[in-house]
Amino acid sequence: MLRVKQEAPESHRTMQVVNHVRSLIENGTLQPGDKLPPERELARDLKISRASLRTGIGYLAAMGVMKIRHGVGTFVADGPPDLGKASLSFMGALHGFQSWQMFEARIILESNLAALSAERSKEEHHALLAEEVAEMFAAIENPTEYLIHDVLFHRIIAQASGNPILAAIMETVTSSMYDKRRKTVERATDLRESAEMHREIYRAIRARKPADARRLMEQHLRMAQTAQGMERPGEKRPAVAPSKEIPSRTRATAD
């Protein structure tokens, strides 16, 4: 009887990429700032498609291990990557952290990081934020790709705050939530409205308006929390009438 070899699930292929890159870092083949080998070469070594490879690289970029420079290539982050330590997600599994608690932490951290970013950010940060906003609009029909740029947008704001301690704490919280979001983001809707909300946050930061940046970030995360509470793996999100208190155009679902 002829057996057809089934393709490994996406999560398995993603971890193939993660483990391969980790081994290259651990054995010294890749150093901070180094450029990854060409896609074709990596895909051949791992015996996976280039599309699967890009998904794995996107995961690493969202986790802060890689930096994607469009039109140039993918590079190992300048900081010392540490893929082996226990993350907040493992602590959450052990101690029963709730989704609302994670969002509460994000709202407190990120609304204030946005305000600091409005005060301290540089032109280079503005350029990077503008690029990620453009990429979000371009990825509206591809929720998985959208999520990657969404995460990168929030990371840039944290870096632009000028406080590496707060940025590191935010990174821990965001990274622990990212893996769960990958499993439900396909059910996300209103991505255009989400992208527009990110654009408003970017404009407040660029205009040096800390109060507006704080308010918009808090509003955005509260909307995202509500929307994500309606997503379940394997289920389609039901249609919901817009709230009277919150205009339809500002319902954001990706973060």
Q: What does the pLDDT look like over 141-158, one tens digit per residue? A: 988 889 989 999 999 999
Question: In the chain, how many domains are there?
Answer: 2
Same domain, 64 and 124: no
Task: Examine the domain organization and report whether 97 and 173 are in the same domain.
Answer: yes
155 and 30 within one domain: no
* pLDDT value of residue 87: 54
Q: What range does the domain containing 65 cover?
A: 10-76
- Across the range 240-246, mean pLDDT stands at 35
Identity of residue 5: K
Q: Which residue has the higher pLDDT, 113 or 173?
A: 113
**Tokens at residue 44, please?**
């051949």
Does 54 have pLDDT greater than 50? Answer: yes
29 and 99 co-located in one domain: no
Strand partners, 35: 75
Instruction: Give mean pLDDT, residues 43-57.
Output: 88
Contact 85, 64 (CB under 8 A): no
- Span of 20-29, 101-110, 136-145, 179-188 with lowest mean pLDDT: 179-188
Please provide the average confidence, as pLDDT, over all residues in the chain.
79
d(CA 230, CA 187): 9
Rounded to a whole number, what is the distance in angstroms from the first to the last CA of the chain? Answer: 47
- At 120-140, the pLDDT tens digits run 999 999 999 999 999 999 999
Same domain, 95 and 179: yes
CATH number at residue 104: 1.20.120.530
Based on the fold, state whether residues 40 and 118 are members of the same structural domain: no
Q: Do 125 and 219 sit in the same domain of this protein? A: yes
CA distances from 30 to 19, 22, 42, 182 (A): 13, 9, 13, 27
* Percent of all residues in the chain with a pLDDT value above 90, rounded to a whole number: 31
User: From start to end of the chain, where are the E strands?
Assistant: 66-69, 73-76
Confidence at residue 11, expressed as pLDDT on a 0 to 100 scale: 65
Task: Check if the beta carbon of residue 46 is closer than 8 Å to that of residue 53.
Answer: yes
pLDDT of residue 126: 97
Residues 128 and 168 in one domain: yes
Alpha-carbon distance 67 to 74, whole Å? Answer: 6
Single out the residue in 45, 76, 107 at which a domain terminates. Answer: 76
230 lies in the same domain as 136: yes
The encoded tokens of residue 53 equal 């490879």
Residue 179 has pLDDT above 70, yes or no: no
**Closest to 57 measured CA to CA, from 131, 135, 79, 69:** 69
Domain boundary residue, one of 44, 76, 108: 76
Q: What is the pLDDT of residue 122?
A: 96
Other CB atoms within a 10 A radius of the CB of residue 127 amount to: 11
Counting residues of the chain whose pLDDT is more than 70, the rounded percentage is 77
CA atoms in the 13 A half-sphere facing the CB of 190: 27
Is residue 2, in this structure, part of any structural domain at all?
no
